[in-house]
Structure 1
Amino acid sequence: MTNETTAISESETEYYDEVTYQQYRDEISETNYYVTKIPNKDKDQNFIKLNHGFQYDSMNSGEGETVRSFAHRKNVSFAANASIFNTSNNQIRGIQIQDGQILQATTYSDYYTLGIKADNTLVAYPPSISANNILQDGCLNTVTGFFPIIENGNPVDSSIFDGKNQSNEAHPRQVIAQLPNKDLLFFTVKGRTDLSKGMTYNDCIRVLQEFNVTFAYCLDGGGSTQSVVRGVLLNDPIDGDGKIERKVPDFLYVVKNVTNARNLDATTYDLGNVNKKVSDLKADLNKMGAFFDNVQVVDNLNNINKSGLYWILGSATGAPSNDTSWGIIHMQHSPNNSLQIGFPFHNTLNGMRSRRTNPNQVGTYYNWRNL
């Protein structure tokens, strides 16, 4: 028992603890997003390399692989989807270079190539630049997403992307960005839900400038958007009512040398499994209208017209009582048919209560009653 405990404890340190993430909300676009920070060096001043990997370690396997599956196989600290691809056969698009070897030299459409130099410096190349020239410029890895949106700290000329890749529409986005000190940011935008609409390119530019990035480039997005940190998928899937993670052809990732891979593999697997079960449960609840990502504070329960979780003070209109605050689940079937369940903040004589709309008088509720 002692040996097992020690081994697991040691394995946990083999992740990059320096890789951190945080969730934010942008009220302008009405969207939640994650920012994952990958420093250029760890706490011991060792370089943290950004790597380029493929579906089951083969660019041409055609099977596709979820980011979570790839992250588990490789025991990575972070992984994200990368290149665009043909969704019918999972064949990857554009110039692909891995560890200094050109695997695919053909550009795709007018999309830019993202180059990654040995020190993680990011560079975007227009389709007129060949794979050989990119390699000669010092980039050891490339992926092909869409377009750069920030270069040298400033937004690029919008003519580069305007009207392309649905840039003016709100969608989930995956953007890789860089700070002046070469730290990397992965900007993972949720979307296509009532709670998170998604972002346009200009939304992404506006938010990323608040983080003072010098460079930003749009990777594949939409339903392909996935970011995994230490076995945990940050954003919610879109396919299959929020339960199916999309298979993609390649990945950008960071991994730390592992001395006890077997135990770390078990830890990653367990974290991933628990996270997947929670994600699936959350998807089921979302279908019923309970959006648990964001509890809204309201001051009038009688005016709510959308299912979800709410928080009120005792002074709010329609509150079950005025001597405590309340958590409220609101279930809306139709404009004149809804049910509310209240949970008191203070554990006093107040118990859970419920009320429903009065079908004989539109826009009114029956009195609250104890459950």
Structure 2
Amino acid sequence: MKKLFRKKYSWLLLTMMSLIGADSFVLLKAFYLPEVGTTVTQTQKTESSQVTQNISKTTEPTITDTSYSDENVQLNIKKDYADDTNVYIVDIKVSDPKFLKSALANNTYGRNITEKTSTMAENNQAILAINGDFYGFRSTGYVIRNGVLYRDVANSSDQQDLVIDNDGNFSIINESDTTAQSLLDNGAWQVLSFGPSLIENNQLSVSEDKEVGQSMASNPRTAIGQIDTNHYVIIVSEGRTDDSKGLSLYQLAEQFKSLGAKTAYNLDGGGSSTLYFNGKVINQTVGGAKGGNERSVSDILYIGS
């Protein structure tokens, strides 16, 4: 009887250990173990950079702590305080939409491959950079970067993506309505899958109670919008600090509306929110292991020369 009892519970113990092991592996795979998919080739990097390198550049840029100006890129950074939060607003005008670029961590597409926004920015000689959509945290959601299709797996029926086309114009699509290949065939240069949209057709497209997953209502935020042809605006807000409460999505959308954005889109926020300019991170980040350090992410959007 004792042997039978021991045997019965030995099998139970082994089964439990197997389940725990399997669950641990799933968690490791989902959040930690890198899965390399595609390395950005030197040809792709060269083609992307040559698009802007071939544009005439005859004068040295004028750079201050809050601005950059040459014949192709003009940007100004304004620090504001709204809704008990430090907010950075970047007004950007470019001569060609290809100055708005993206980069992947370690120049590699894949799951859980990350670098700091500042590192990617420095490696790509970015004038200004923000964190992207952290595509590598998920196994679904369309990914097109600098005209290259990396993932054509839809997330959900209501997943809203930002499409930046070859002319630099912004639009919002639902992944259930199209494929990433179709978007690429129709001229998509960048497709980012996070959301939600904040402004569409000059109108607020997010409600006061809308939030990202289980996120808190007030957070650090990163978002980008289009005001006019080759005219963009970036907003990065701080949050989760003594000085900054953070913004809700609705408050963020109101900021874009006040700036005249025709289209605006929410990117990965919270601990990922990072604004890099002129060789340094200028916002208070809260995503590192010790709370105040910069978080490593999958990708960036940046203004490059």
What TM-score, normalized to structure 2?
0.70
Determine whether 1:116 maps to 2:167. Answer: no
Aligned mate of 2:81, from 13, 25, 32: 25
User: Rg: which structure is higher?
Assistant: 1
Specify which structure has the higher proportion of strand. 2
Q: Secondary structure of 2:247's match?
A: coil
Contact preservation (8 Å) 1:167, 1:201:
no
- Residue 212 of structure 1 and its aligned partner are, at CA, apart by 1.2
- Displacement, 1:247? 0.6
Alpha-carbon deviations, 1:14-53, whole Å to 9, x = none? 9852222111010xx2001101122032xxxx55521121
Report the counterpart of residue 365 of structure 1 in structure 2: none
Inter-partner Cα distance in structure 2 for 1:14 and 1:206: 31
Report the Cα distance in structure 2 between the residues aligned to 1:147 and 1:228, rounded to whole angstroms: 23
1:190-224, Cα deviation, whole Å (9 max, x unpaired): 00012100011111122221111111100000000
Question: Per the alignment, do residues 91 and 201 of structure 1 end up closer, same or farther by CA in structure 2, a change over 3 Å counting?
Answer: closer
Q: Which sits farther off after the overlay, 12-21 or 32-41? A: 12-21
Matching residue's letter, 1:231 = G
Give distance in 2, aligned partners of 1:178 and 1:165: 25
Closer, same or farther in 2 for the Cα pair 1:47/1:102, shift >3 Å? Answer: closer
Identity %: 24
RMSD: 2.6
Alignment counterpart, residue 193 of structure 1, candidates 216, 241, 253: 241
Q: Is the 8 A contact 1:34 1:234 kept in 2?
A: no
Query: Structure 2, unaligned stretches of length 5 or more?
Result: 1-57
Structure 1 residues 248-287: aligned runs within 5 Å: 248-256=297-305
| 1:243 shift after superposition | 4.0
| Cα separation, 2, equivalents of 1:80 and 1:254 | 9
Q: What is the match of residue 84 of structure 1?
A: 134
Tell me how far 1:63 sits from its aligned partner: 3.2
Q: Which residue of 1 aligns with 2:89?
A: 35
Secondary structure of residue in 2 paired with 1:134: helix
Question: Which of 153, 159, 171 is the aligned partner of 1:106?
Answer: 153
Matched residues, number: 237
Provide closer, same or farther for how the CA distance between residues 93 and 76 of structure 1 changes in structure 2, counting only shifts above 3 A: farther
| CA–CA separation in structure 1 for the residues paired with 2:226 and 2:205 | 15
Deviation at 1:137, TM superposition (A): 3.1
CA positional deviation for 1:84: 3.2
Please give the alpha-carbon distance, in whole angstroms, between the structure 2 residues aligned to 1:232 and 1:140. Answer: 27
Change (3 A) 1:114 1:177: same
Gap change, CA 1:241 and 1:213, over 3 Å in 2: same
What secondary structure is seen at the aligned counterpart in 2 of 1:207? Answer: helix
Aligned to 1:344: none
The equivalent residue for 2:195 is 146
